[in-house]
């Protein structure tokens, strides 16, 4: 098996857990290629290893999604929902075929930002968001498949996939969705009209966003990439024509991840 390796920060290369993982994969007959900054996986790569945290995984998805290259996340970061796997568990699972490949929904934005970092890759795995730029609140006009919603008056608005339901959307009060759920989530950020709530819609929906603000501009983000945009820009968000292939070790479990990382259901009555 030929494995390309994307590392969040170079100092992780000397991490003892990472070194042990590399040795185990080599001993198992794998051909490894650690990518340098700006490098992309070779055409004959079978898998891409993302080493770090969820931010690293999001950066890795840029290299993998459109090519259909499976990505396995190795957690040497902090929380880690996308990169949930301990280094100690990865080598034996890959070598023994003890894993499955999930198809994770990607978002696509129709937008011309003038920023090549986003315009050349207008996709996101977790979420896309519009956020106020200055002190004035942002008015966001939203239409879903042509059906207009009441205007959101807020600090911003997030359109999230089910994968992103445990990320930015969760921090502003959005619901948690199981990764295999075919839904999108619209979550306002600090809404000034308090009678609006996060909205769950089918992932077949096409979402149109138009922004208005006294500042005349706002920030647009696609996962961990951000740029400034003028308010005359309309953004159309929909599901991309391809998905990200994420490697899930058979020993992993989303509900267990919620319990371990977010203390889901932490209650003295649940102690076994």
Active site residues: 54
The answer to whether the beta carbons of residues 235 and 109 sit under 8 Å apart is yes
β-sheet with 217-222: strand ranges across: 199-202, 183-189, 156-161, 127-132, 217-222, 225-230
Residues 249, 6: Cα–Cα separation, whole Å: 19
Query: Mapping DSSP to helix (H, G, I), strand (E, B) and coil, where does residue 204 land?
Result: coil
Q: Which residues of 58-67 are buried (b: 16+ CB within 10 A; e: fewer)?
A: bbbbbbbbee
Largest Cα–Cα distance in the chain?
61
Taken in order 62, 65, 70, 73, the sign of the CA dihedral is positive
Q: How far is CA 38 from CA 31, 46, 65, 166, in A?
A: 20, 19, 16, 28
Q: Which of 261, 212, 201, 190 is nearest to 237 (CA)?
A: 201
DSSP character for 175?
Answer: P
């Amino acid at each position: 098996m030929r494995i390309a390796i994307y590392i969040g920060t170079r100092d992780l290369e000397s991490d003892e857990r990472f070194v042990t993982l590399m040795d185990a994969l080599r001993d198992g007959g794998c051909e490894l290629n650690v990518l340098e900054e700006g490098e992309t996986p070779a055409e004959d790569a079978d898998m891409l290893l993302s080493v770090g945290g969820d931010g690293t995984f999001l950066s890795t998805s840029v290299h993998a999604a459109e090519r259909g290259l499976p990505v396995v996340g190795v957690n040497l970061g902090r929380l880690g929902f996308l990169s949930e796997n301990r280094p100690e568990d990865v080598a034996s699972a890959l070598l023994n075929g003890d894993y499955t490949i999930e198809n994770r929904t990607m978002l696509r934005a129709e937008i011309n930002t003038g920023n090549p970092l986003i315009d050349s890759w207008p996709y996101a795995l977790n979420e896309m968001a519009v956020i106020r730029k200055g002190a004035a609140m942002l008015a966001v006009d939203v239409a879903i498949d042509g059906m207009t919603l009441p205007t959101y008056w807020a600090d911003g608005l997030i359109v999230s996939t089910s994968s992103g339901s445990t990320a930015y959307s969760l921090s502003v009060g959005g619901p948690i969705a199981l990764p295999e759920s075919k839904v999108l989530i619209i979550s306002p950020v600090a809404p000034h009209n308090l009678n609006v709530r996060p909205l769950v819609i089918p992932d077949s929906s096409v979402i149109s966003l138009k922004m208005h603000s006294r500042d005349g501009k706002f920030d647009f983000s696609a996962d961990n990439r951000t740029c400034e945009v003028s308010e005359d820009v309309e953004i159309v968000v929909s599901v991309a024509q391809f998905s990200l292939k994420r490697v899930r070790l058979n020993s992993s479990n989303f509900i267990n991840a919620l319990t371990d990382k977010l203390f889901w259901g932490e209650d003295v009555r649940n102690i076994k």
